[in-house]
Amino acid sequence: MQNLTINAGRLWDSIHETARFGACDGGGVDRLTLTDEDKRVRDWFCDTVEALGCTVTVDEVGNMFAHRPGKRDDLDPIAIGSHLDTQPTGGKFDGILGVLAGIEILRTLDEAGYITNAPLEIVNWTNEEGTRFSPAMLCSGVFAGVFPPDYAWSRTDRDGIRFDDALDRIGYRGTEKAGGHRLGAMFELHIEQGPILEAENCTIGVVTGVQGARWYDVRLAGSTGHTGATPMRLRRDALVGASELVLAVQRIAQDHGPEAVASVGRIDVAPNSRNVVPGEVSLSVDLRHPDDATLARMAESFEAELGRIADHHGLERDLTPVWDSPAVRFAPELIARVEAGAEQAGLRHRRLVSGAGHDAAYIARVTPTTMVFVPCLGGVSHNVAESTTLDECRAGAQTLLNAVIAHDNSLID
């Protein structure tokens, strides 16, 4: 095989160039999906890949595909992709690295005059983060048939703006039917978003799957009252009940082994006044485990605790399931390609399961898929302090390139 080497400095420059779109204090990025800043980075993506000779198509929920022809266009494309949207206080690397590494691979191939057997496609999946429009991984989910397009279009943000209206406003509702786009395989490069690789001085994570996740919205309603005039015995304090539920969620994770994790990530209190007993609390609950049966037991425990706490404090309760993502196992043949790609590059690697959800988790339902992880400083992500190094980006992109080329060659063996 021809020696193909990533230009790490060029990749690093692209990372910092795209960080201008939504740059926020602390060196991070605030680029929520379907905002003006998202449009700017999408426009940049189109201009960049078209300059490399790619054709860009956009589907009905805004997923973007940059197509580079291969020698055999009868073969389904090999996709390299992730997402360009961020958290409101996100970093420069979460998701973005996976898209830009794909662009760097195209640049490397172009410089070498190398044409793959199968076409290559760089993909930007819409609304991976799920911050503005819930749930997460919304449009890779539509692509994989998990959600119908109407479901995605009807999602609203906190200001009541519908997803389809926001998509139309920035001009990125395409004509291609979501899921009508065939892929032969997909590779996704991502920062780990956890501390394992850094703690073990390991450069490459060979991702074997993604743990299952269940998200819920909870509403607890009691009675407001004057703090000074309402006796403790007569209160129906929704915040007290919510506080007990937060601790119950923590206990549930601790009771289900070291792989179980859970948290309450958002709380809204009403009326949120200094001298008023809180009458209503809304909160989010996130339960995760790599084993579906264990995750189901965690969910049963959570629902039981919610009922017990609400009854004890005389609170009304509403429980809304938001997201149920089963555990995912990635394609063994692609996992092997990533391991071989890391070894070819002389990089220390280990297998692991992703603790975070990713677009690859849904795409694995419709085509062979795997992921490559690189370390991030302190395991910190979804934070302006999110950081990785130029050498780690180089390592991830080189491993990705090696794996893609090896898989492409296997298609005609």
DSSP state of 77: P
Report whether 331 contacts 403 (CB < 8 A). no
**Second-level CATH architecture of 212-321:** 2-Layer Sandwich (3.30)
Cβ pair 59, 181 in contact under 8 A: yes
Between strands 78-82 and 185-191, the pairing is: parallel
Is residue 312 annotated as involved in ligand binding? Answer: no
83 a known binding residue? yes
256 appears as a binding residue in the annotation: no
Which pLDDT value is given to residue 2?
Answer: 54
Decide: 75 and 185 in contact? Cβ < 8 Å. no
The residue ranges of every structural domain in the chain are 8-210+327-410, 212-321
Q: Is there a contact between 80 and 104 (Cβ–Cβ < 8 Å)?
A: no
**Residue at 216: amino acid letter:** Y
Contact by Cβ (8 Å): 157, 133? yes
Question: DSSP letters along 260-307, please?
Answer: -EEEEEEEEEES--TTEE--EEEEEEEEEESSHHHHHHHHHHHHHHHH
| pLDDT for 325 | 83
pLDDT digits (tens, 9 = 90+) for 350-386: 999 998 889 999 999 999 999 999 999 999 999 999 9
8-210+327-410: CATH topology is Aminopeptidase (3.40.630)
Instruction: Please list the ranges in the chain whose pLDDT falls under 70.
Output: 1-2
pLDDT > 90: percent of the chain? 96
Question: How far is it, in rounded angstroms, from Cα 84 to Cα 100?
Answer: 9
Confidence at residue 1, expressed as pLDDT on a 0 to 100 scale: 46
Q: DSSP class of residue 177?
A: P
- Exposed / middle / buried, residue 102 (Cβ in 10 Å: 0-12, 13-18, 19+): buried
3-state SS, the chain, equals CCCCCCCHHHHHHHHHHHCCCCECHHHCECCCCCCHHHHHHHHHHHHHHHHCCCEEEEECCCCEEEEECCCCCCCCCEEEEECCCCCCCECCCCCHHHHHHHHHHHHHHHHHCCCCCCCEEEEECCCCCCCCCCCCCHHHHHHCCCCCHHHHHHCECCCCCEHHHHHHHHCCCCCECCCCCCCCEEEEEEECCCCHHHHCCCCEEEEEEECEEEEEEEEEECCCEECCCCCHHHCCCHHHHHHHHHHHHHHHHHHCCCCCEEEEEEEEEECCCCCEECCEEEEEEEEEECCHHHHHHHHHHHHHHHHHHHHHHCCEEEEEEEEEECCEECCHHHHHHHHHHHHHCCCCEEEEEECCCCHHHHHCCCCCEEEEEECCHHHCCCCCCCCCCHHHHHHHHHHHHHHHHHHHHHCCC
Instruction: Name the E strands within 290-410.
Output: 316-325, 328-329, 349-354, 369-374
Stated pTM of the model: 0.85
